[in-house]
Amino acid sequence: MTRIIIFGDSVAYGAWDSKGGWVERLKEFLDKRFLLDKDLYFLTYNLGISGNTTKDVLERFEFESRMRFKEKEETIIVFSIGGNDCELNNKKNKCKVSIEELTENIIKLIKLSRKFSNKIVFTGLTPTDESKMDPIPWNNNFSYKNSLIKEYDETIQKTCREQKVPFINLLNWLDKKDLEDGCHPNSKGHEKIFNIVKEFLIKNKII
């Protein structure tokens, strides 16, 4: 048996998608594959929480991992996080989590993950529709900007490269048509993410 533990925010959780988002699609794919080959048994845990930043995931990571970790079973840890870190406070002109702290959090998460697994993967960030998200409708004091998303995405990618951890680029593959509310992927967007993640994991022999 292999356990896949996926930490993240609302994109991992699957917000606004009636089919449960890309993680649920991955779970369904792995479940169907198991029915054809009993040697391919995966348990998929979706630990996405809406609004979470890398700081939030770092605070809960070790406890939640220990609750799902089995000594003699393989574990895969996937992080889909960072989008909320670059949420811009318009009054302070400051992101929720700085680039410096983001980098530190990613490194800490990788080091902690290596206690449980040698298979660690980060997915990149998804774009925003600034016409809808600058400012954010449900909180006018904050905005999402693609320039910041790109900067934070590149930082996560660079840190993963330095730490020798696989990184899955999503930013170049999604656009406005793939967003439900300007921020969260719609069903089509989640289908795209699922296919990108699935093919990457298979190609790199992670699943």
The domain spans of the chain are 2-203
pLDDT at 128 over 90: yes
Give the single-character DSSP code of 171: T
Question: Which residues, listed in sequence order, are joined to residue 185 by a DSSP beta bridge?
Answer: 179
pTM: 0.96
Structure confidence by residue, pLDDT tens digits, 4-51 = 999 999 999 999 999 999 999 999 999 999 998 888 999 999 999 999
Residue 72 pLDDT grade (very low, low, confident, very high; cuts 50, 70, 90): confident
- The architecture of the domain spanning 2-203 is 3-Layer(aba) Sandwich (3.40)
Structure confidence by residue, pLDDT tens digits, 82-104 = 999 999 999 999 999 999 999 99
Tokens describing residue 95 = 């992101």
Task: Give me the sign of the Cα torsion angle 155, 81, 4, 206.
Answer: negative
Task: Give mean pLDDT, residues 174-197.
Answer: 97
